[in-house]
Structure 1
Amino acid sequence: MESIAVTDGNLDSFYTNVTNGSESQGMVEQGPESWIIPVIFTVIFCVGVFGNALVIVVLLRTGRELENTTNIFILNLSIADLLFIVFCVPFQATVFSLPEWVFGLFMCKFVHFFQCATMLASAFNLMAMSMDRYMAIVHPVDSIDYRKPQMAWAVELAIWVLAMGTSTPYLVYFNIHQDVVSGIPVDFCVEHWDDLESQRPAYFAGLFVLGYVLPLVIIAACYYLVVRELNSMPKKSQANRSKKRVTKILMVVVIVFGICWLPHHVVNMWVTFGEFPYNMATYVVKLLSMCMAYVNSCVNPIIYAFLSSEFRQGVGELACRT
């Protein structure tokens, strides 16, 4: 996943480039986004933290739910979404409300690293869930030995190691850059690839393929085969209805993921490989694409609440206990 922030991880410099002609005599004036975006981010943060934490608590409340491989993947998807919100939204909101990066070098590196790692972990978990559904429905007998909790946790270990390993360049190439604006030194959190700048496009292209294109292709293939198999089963079967219900929920989650992240990836590929115009219109487009990507991390619990009776029942039992 490319950096959420605009132009090499720095919304401040993007906005400065856009407005430099009219604001060259003083500090760049902050527009309405300086309060609109933080308000939107606050809503996303509150809904996302509460919703994903609720999913995690519901799945962990007895431990029996984690005997199901699908629930293990849903649990880790919720953990990835929760961590994404916690380590992304608050820090990114300050880019709009503060004139510079105030959190130091460590957080500059760590925040962007974790944003990338949790994004990749989400994509990989969705891919794992689709493959799990495929094996459970198309090859129910042959997959018994593979669809066990121990195997699911081993897959999760591989997912998180791969996600974090792929994101390590963020720990290396994000640094604090000090610039002077109207005679005042300000710090920005930006990428510095130095002599390896020529390799940067290849890295981001690889992230785009690994974290978006490849997962969606595999997911689409798996669910195509799953739906074809389900349509060939007896429609009145209780087991078949249950399988269809679970598959429907997971397909909605995947579709929402694809839609929410598509604008972000399109803009980032445009910035990396095309002639991206730095103007107010593209600034607004980038903000909208960023907000859509962030919204994705808080909508899954809402999907579960509307489509999963088991989740609603679990929430009800949890409420009764408290």
Structure 2
Amino acid sequence: MDELHMNLSSGRNNTSPGGEGSPDSSVGTYPGQGLSEQFVVRSNYAFASFYALIFVIGLPGNILMFQILLQGQRKSGSGVLSRTTAPVIMNVVLSDLAFLLYCVPVMFVNTVWEDWQMGKAMCISHKGLFLWCVFVRFYSMLAVSVLRYAAVIHPTCSRSLSQQLMVGICFLIWSMSLIVSIPYWIYATAFNLKGFASCQVIMTKEQTALYSRLLGGVAFFPATLLIVMCYSSIIYALWCRKTLIVHSASSLRANRRATIMILATIVAFIIMWIPCWVLLFLSETMTFKPSPGVFLATNMTYFLAYTNCCANPIIYFALSDHFQAKLKKLFGCVCNNDMKKSRGPDKGEGFETVTSSLETENTS
């Protein structure tokens, strides 16, 4: 995915992201082939500013998220469901932090320089870590969706999950994501084309076609289908069924709020990444005519995908009273005791409620 953006960010290097390096096989363009040098330079500085903004917004937000989740894990009164769910949510935060600290600065520098000047080792690590982090985030969201399903539909079974098991699942998520990204680690390379340096994943058309099918048919679409099935059942149980599984109105409200918050993060991930995946697929099957519109639209799809690494903290802080209260506490804002007393069980959304929203079930 990311390699196509390398071509477009410079407006020069149009080596195929999955082919043998044919200069006309991707969307990228040389100055003079539909794009002026002045237009390319101005566009690159604009997109470099966008990447800097992603870093400035995303890094503090994800650091705060990590601190809040870590405090919840250390809290002696935390329920078993919160302790088992928190490591999976931390997975998302850690992958976003890795993405922000490495991939975003590399893309910023490459956009400013207009071609690749950071060497082969940096090219390989950037490509591999890019796809690794994306799938860690995706599989972590899948795990959270399954946990949400278990907590709502089968609450008794979900209580038997141990924290050690969840740590093992997190390790499995990182391992599976690494396996998915192996071709990027193997085939990524830096090279010169017509006087301009480029960082690309160079595979034959047959290898690219096979990898695309495996990526979509094995790594992506089955997991997406499972997420859809989980949330279809959850929404039906919480909003449509007359006989509810939960035992109290406060537990129902907590489940609904937690479900909406987690579902919002998944929807944001899909909306922000779908244009990038579609563009990658189209670039492998057809040739685009160079134009300013194509150049800007393509760069915007990748900017949108990169923006997802700072979306989760915004969603959590906007939709969770718990994260809002913890954020105030981190900055030295102490809540009024009367306000705490006035908040009922449905509004006293602790760490357990955010991550599992079934803490009331533990005491039923």
| TM-score greater than 0.5 by the shorter chain | yes
Deviating more after overlay: 14-23 vs 169-178: 14-23
Is 1:85 matched up with 2:117? no
1:169 aligned residue = 183
- What is the CA-CA distance between 1:95 and the residue it aligns to? 2.6
Is 1:100 matched up with 2:115? yes
State the distance in 2 between where 1:226 and 1:321 align.
36
Match of 1:200 among 199, 208, 213: 208
Is 1:56 matched up with 2:66? yes
Contact 1:30 1:96 in 2 (8 A): no
State the distance in 1 between where 2:184 and 2:207 align.
14
Is 1:187 matched up with 2:201? no
Pairwise mapping of residues 14-29 of structure 1 onto structure 2 (< 5 A)? 14=14, 17-21=29-33
- What is the CA-CA distance between 1:282 and the residue it aligns to? 1.9
State the distance in 1 between where 2:313 and 2:35 align.
43
Is 1:178 matched up with 2:197? no
- What is the CA-CA distance between 1:28 and the residue it aligns to? 8.5
Contact 2:62 2:96 in 1 (8 A): yes
Match of 1:261 among 267, 273, 276: 273
State the distance in 1 between where 2:79 and 2:333 align.
20
Contact 1:73 1:129 in 2 (8 A): yes
* CA distance 1:198–1:250, shift in 2 (3 Å): same
Match of 2:159 among 144, 157, 165: 144
State the distance in 2 between where 1:47 and 1:274 align.
36
Deviations 1:216-267 (A, max 9, x none): 2211110110111113327961111111111110011111111111110110
Question: Aligned residues, how many?
Answer: 310
Deviations 1:292-314 (A, max 9, x none): 10111101101111100111122
- What is the CA-CA distance between 1:38 and the residue it aligns to? 0.9
2:344 aligned residue = none
State the distance in 2 between where 1:307 and 1:28 align.
43
* CA distance 1:315–1:44, shift in 2 (3 Å): same
- What is the CA-CA distance between 1:214 and the residue it aligns to? 3.0
2:7 aligned residue = 10
Contact 2:44 2:114 in 1 (8 A): no
1:41 aligned residue = 51
2:137 alignment partner AA = S
Say which SS state the counterpart of residue 19 (structure 1) adopts.
coil
Contact 1:81 1:118 in 2 (8 A): yes
1:128 aligned residue = 143
- What is the CA-CA distance between 1:34 and the residue it aligns to? 1.8
State the distance in 2 between where 1:209 and 1:149 align.
31
Is 1:225 matched up with 2:233? yes
What RMSD, in angstroms, separates the aligned Cα atoms of the two structures?
A: 2.5
- What is the CA-CA distance between 1:188 and the residue it aligns to? 1.6
- What is the CA-CA distance between 1:96 and the residue it aligns to? 2.2
Is 1:248 matched up with 2:263? no
Contact 2:48 2:112 in 1 (8 A): yes
State the distance in 2 between where 1:305 and 1:221 align.
27
1:97 alignment partner AA = V
Percent identical pairs in the alignment equals 23
- What is the CA-CA distance between 1:204 and the residue it aligns to? 2.5
Pairwise mapping of residues 206-221 of structure 1 onto structure 2 (< 5 A)? 206-210=214-218, 212-221=220-229
1:173 alignment partner AA = Y
1:270 alignment partner AA = L
The normalised TM-score by structure 1 is 0.88
Pairwise mapping of residues 268-307 of structure 1 onto structure 2 (< 5 A)? 268-307=280-319
2:226 alignment partner AA = I
Say which SS state the counterpart of residue 90 (structure 2) adopts.
helix
Unaligned runs of 5+ in 2: 15-26, 335-364
Say which SS state the counterpart of residue 178 (structure 1) adopts.
strand
* CA distance 1:313–1:321, shift in 2 (3 Å): closer
Unaligned runs of 5+ in 1: none
State the distance in 1 between where 2:276 and 2:163 align.
34
Say which SS state the counterpart of residue 10 (structure 1) adopts.
helix
Deviating more after overlay: 226-235 vs 283-292: 226-235
State the distance in 2 between where 1:261 and 1:39 align.
20
Say which SS state the counterpart of residue 100 (structure 1) adopts.
coil
Larger Rg: 2
The normalised TM-score by structure 2 is 0.78
